A and B are shown apart, each in its own frame.
Chain A
Amino acid sequence: MNRIARAWDSDIAWSFRHSPVAMLAALVALLIILSAVLAPWIAPHDPFNPASLNLMDGFTPPMEPNAFTGNVFWLGTDNQGRDIFSAILYGARISLFVGFSAVVFAMVLGISIGLLAAWRGGWVDSLLMRIADVQLSFPSILIALLIFGIARGVIPPAYREEMAIWVLIVAIGLSDWVQFARVVRGAALVEKSKEYVQAARLVGAHPARIVLSHILPNVMGPVLVIATIGLALAIIAEATLSFLGVGVPPTQPSLGTLIRIGQGFLFSGEWWIILFPSIALLALALSVNLLGDWLRDALNPRLK
């Protein structure tokens, strides 16, 4: 109880309560995340169960009864009669899963490389940071496409479909670790020279212990900020890849896949197929991004 009260009184909580943008963004993000997690229970239809689909329901406009079956769908249906609202819930589920996993993967990789570079210094540092520089000179979506292409060539066709989502996570994660590594290295270099690290070295504490229990907790602040903004970027990267048709398989459509399906009907008048998934993606990415911006300002003592 005491702990909760103290957290409520902390600077971060104060800054949160005084930022309407942050509160609104948190509300929207929380709403989307909750409905995505609870999709199997709250979605009116299961859009990916072929047995429950009726092709006659196809192209139903939002809030209008279908001409043949008389069924009403809140946000309409796509060409195969799938409920758009349910598809968005399930699609957000996949987008969020891929986004979270990719960021966690990039974070673990980036933190490890950054800490290693800062602690060892010398040629290890130079080598790792030059690799990071080279990677930074390519657009990250290009790197993700490259990794995806390599994985396609390596993985046997029989496993491609079930592996696709993991390949996507690795591809986005690998294209995104550089900024974590750079920030961690910079912060760790500052911490490494502080006297509390020297005091630990003095008594002969193991280097791994010094890095993990002394330095790591002190560099996590900036890492959390880029992780939040990185989540928005990863969700957009996933949507971009799926839109390009190299992401998740069509049997598990994410928000990006829905937008790709929708853009095929943009000029034939079925506007709802592309509009609602796009709004969902925009709301998700924007709210997470705004939260990241707020967190960055709240944790920056110079902006207080």
Chain B
Amino acid sequence: MAEPLLRVEGLWRRFDVSKPWLNRVIEREKPQFLTAVADVTFEIARGETFALVGESGSGKSTIARMIVGLLGASDGRILFDGKDMTALPASELRALRRRFQMIFQDPFASLNPRWRVGDIIAEPLRTFGLATGAAAEAEVGRLLETVGLSAKDAEKFPHEFSGGQRQRIAIARALSSKPEFIVCDEPTSALDVSVQAQILNLMRDLQDEFGLTYLFISHDLSVVRHMATRIGVLYLGRLVETAEAKTLFREPQHPYTRMLLDAVPDLALSGRRRKPVTGEIPNPISPPSGCAFHPRCPLVHDRCRETLPEPHSTATGMAACFATKGDRAETETAGTA
């Protein structure tokens, strides 16, 4: 793999969920922290689509927000094109900001209802000083046509559009600063199924046209299968497996990945029995000891309850599980150490 466009190293994010100071003093409670993202490391190569999948509360969106700078990281580094964004001075960060953008989940909340579509799309242009006046207007018209709308739509307000059209507007806004990298936070989960495919195809076409790199966040495995070149599976803030998209669907390594794949509806009617996902994601304020997945894992073993499995390379990529490491026998003897 060539030099990655984005590299995330040992990323952590803890949220302070303590009660107010006075309540803590009176009720004699300790401060409480929620670990949303724990020790996450991955790379995204130029031009690929890296998907992060996981259940609600697994930290997908938190990672996305940290990468684009909406949230600070508690620990770890985020390197964009080799530059550490967590340590960069504000002026350089500003120059870097133009090169990445984000598409949000809810197209009804991501467009200001009081702004005209033209102003919404032109906001990045104006903020970065890329174009003003007539040049900005022409650019907005061009962008609207790129995403399959009409240049005349710039005069309208967001409420005059459907959900799919609004997401097209959000995509046009994301494209306006000519970014190289776009974080897509569940861009289709608020849309009708019939519209989802159109938006996904548009995003793929734009990727080919502009050479974009995507970080694609979703809980919908069928959408991920359509889009991703590589996939990372998150469980309770930790990356449990990463692999090439094709091999992950063919040979899932981690028991959690297998459980997710088993639950996907069988549209090919191959006669495969569909197993429902069992259990729920645990409370991130007091996560289970050892491997966080052990209460739900079919392959659970004594060691999993005590020790956190380190990520190790597998035949298909990376996984963090004692069972996939194939040293189960070894761990049983050495496990007490």
B interface secondary structure, majority: loop
Q: Contact between A201 and B70 (Cβ–Cβ < 8 Å)?
A: yes
B39 → chain A closest CB, angstroms:
26
Choose from B68, B105, B111 the contact partner of A202 (Cβ within 8 Å). B68
Instruction: Give Cα distance in the complex from A217 to B112, angstroms.
Output: 10
Q: Contact between B104 and A218 (Cβ–Cβ < 8 Å)?
A: no
Q: Would you list which residues of chain B between 135 and 176 have a CB under 8 Å from chain A?
A: 170, 173
Q: Contact between B109 and A203 (Cβ–Cβ < 8 Å)?
A: no
With a CB–CB cut-off of 8 A, which chain B residues contact A217?
112, 114
Mask of A189-206 contacts with B, CB within 8 angstroms, 1/0: 000001110111111110
With a CB–CB cut-off of 8 A, which chain B residues contact A195?
104-106, 109-110
Does B213 reach chain A (CB closer than 8 Å)?
no
Mask of B95-115 contacts with A, CB within 8 angstroms, 1/0: 001100110111001111111
Does A152 reach chain B (CB closer than 8 Å)?
no
Give 6 A-B contacts (CB < 8 Å), ordered by A residue: A194-B110, A196-B109, A199-B102, A199-B173, A202-B97, A203-B101
Q: Contact between A205 and B123 (Cβ–Cβ < 8 Å)?
A: yes
Instruction: Give Cα distance in the complex from A194 to B115, angstroms.
Output: 14
Does A160 reach chain B (CB closer than 8 Å)?
no
Sorted from nearest, which 8 A-B pairs have the closest CB atoms? Answer: A195-B110, A195-B104, A217-B114, A196-B112, A203-B124, A195-B109, A194-B109, A203-B127
In the complex, which residue of chain B has the Cβ closest to the Cβ of A126? Answer: B20
Known: A199-B170, A218-B114. 12 other contacts (CB 8 A): A195-B104, A195-B109, A195-B110, A198-B104, A199-B123, A202-B68, A202-B70, A202-B97, A202-B101, A203-B177, A204-B127, A214-B115
User: Which A residues contact B (CB, under 8 angstroms)?
Assistant: 194-196, 198-205, 214, 217-218
Q: Contact between A200 and B123 (Cβ–Cβ < 8 Å)?
A: yes
Q: Contact between A203 and B112 (Cβ–Cβ < 8 Å)?
A: no
Choose from B104, B111, B120, B127 the contact partner of A205 (Cβ within 8 Å). B127
In the complex, which residue of chain A has the Cβ closest to the Cβ of B101? Answer: A202
Instruction: Give Cα distance in the complex from A4 to B69, angstroms.
Output: 44
Given known pairs A217-B114, A218-B114, the reply for A198 and B127 (CB within 8 Å) is no
In the complex, which residue of chain B has the Cβ closest to the Cβ of A216? Answer: B114
Q: Contact between A196 and B102 (Cβ–Cβ < 8 Å)?
A: no
Does B33 reach chain A (CB closer than 8 Å)?
no
Instruction: Give Cα distance in the complex from A199 to B101, angstroms.
Output: 9
Q: Would you list which residues of chain B between 59 and 117 have a CB under 8 Å from chain A?
A: 68-70, 94, 97-98, 101-102, 104-106, 109-115
With a CB–CB cut-off of 8 A, which chain A residues contact B127?
200, 203-205
A298 → chain B closest CB, angstroms:
18
User: Which B residues contact A (CB, under 8 angstroms)?
Assistant: 68-70, 94, 97-98, 101-102, 104-106, 109-115, 120, 123-124, 127-128, 170, 173, 177
Q: Which of A194, A199, A201 has the most CB of B within 10 A?
A: A199
With a CB–CB cut-off of 8 A, which chain A residues contact B69?
202
Q: Contact between A203 and B70 (Cβ–Cβ < 8 Å)?
A: no
Instruction: Give Cα distance in the complex from A218 to B109, angstroms.
Output: 12
Instruction: Give Cα distance in the complex from A200 to B110, angstroms.
Output: 10
With a CB–CB cut-off of 8 A, which chain B residues contact A199?
102, 104, 110, 123, 170, 173
B196 → chain A closest CB, angstroms:
18
Instruction: Give Cα distance in the complex from A198 to B123, angstroms.
Output: 13
A57 → chain B closest CB, angstroms:
57
Instruction: Give Cα distance in the complex from A201 to B72, angstroms.
Output: 13
Instruction: Give Cα distance in the complex from A201 to B120, angstroms.
Output: 13
A185 → chain B closest CB, angstroms:
18
In the complex, which residue of chain A has the Cβ closest to the Cβ of B120? Answer: A196
Given known pairs A203-B97, A203-B127, A205-B127, the reply for A198 and B105 (CB within 8 Å) is no
With a CB–CB cut-off of 8 A, which chain B residues contact A196?
109-112, 120
Q: Contact between A204 and B104 (Cβ–Cβ < 8 Å)?
A: no
Instruction: Give Cα distance in the complex from A205 to B69, angstroms.
Output: 13
In the complex, which residue of chain A has the Cβ closest to the Cβ of B119? Answer: A213
A208 → chain B closest CB, angstroms:
13
Q: Which of B105, B106, B123 has the most CB of A within 10 A?
A: B123
B157 → chain A closest CB, angstroms:
12
A184 → chain B closest CB, angstroms:
15
In the complex, which residue of chain B has the Cβ closest to the Cβ of A217? Answer: B114
B18 → chain A closest CB, angstroms:
14
A225 → chain B closest CB, angstroms:
17
Q: Contact between B97 and A214 (Cβ–Cβ < 8 Å)?
A: no
With a CB–CB cut-off of 8 A, which chain A residues contact B110?
194-196, 198-199
Q: Contact between B111 and A198 (Cβ–Cβ < 8 Å)?
A: no
Q: Which of B68, B110, B112, B128 has the most CB of A within 10 A?
A: B112
Q: Contact between B112 and A204 (Cβ–Cβ < 8 Å)?
A: no
Instruction: Give Cα distance in the complex from A202 to B111, angstroms.
Output: 14
Choose from A201, A203, A214, A218 the contact partner of B128 (Cβ within 8 Å). A203
Instruction: Give Cα distance in the complex from A195 to B123, angstroms.
Output: 14
Given known pairs A203-B97, A203-B128, A203-B177, the reply for A198 and B106 (CB within 8 Å) is no
With a CB–CB cut-off of 8 A, which chain B residues contact A194?
109-110
With a CB–CB cut-off of 8 A, which chain B residues contact A203?
97-98, 101, 123-124, 127-128, 177
Instruction: Give Cα distance in the complex from A218 to B157, angstroms.
Output: 14
Instruction: Give Cα distance in the complex from A196 to B173, angstroms.
Output: 11
Q: Contact between B102 and A202 (Cβ–Cβ < 8 Å)?
A: yes
Instruction: Give Cα distance in the complex from A200 to B111, angstroms.
Output: 10
With a CB–CB cut-off of 8 A, which chain B residues contact A205?
123, 127
B171 → chain A closest CB, angstroms:
12
In the complex, which residue of chain B has the Cβ closest to the Cβ of A196? Answer: B112
A75 → chain B closest CB, angstroms:
47
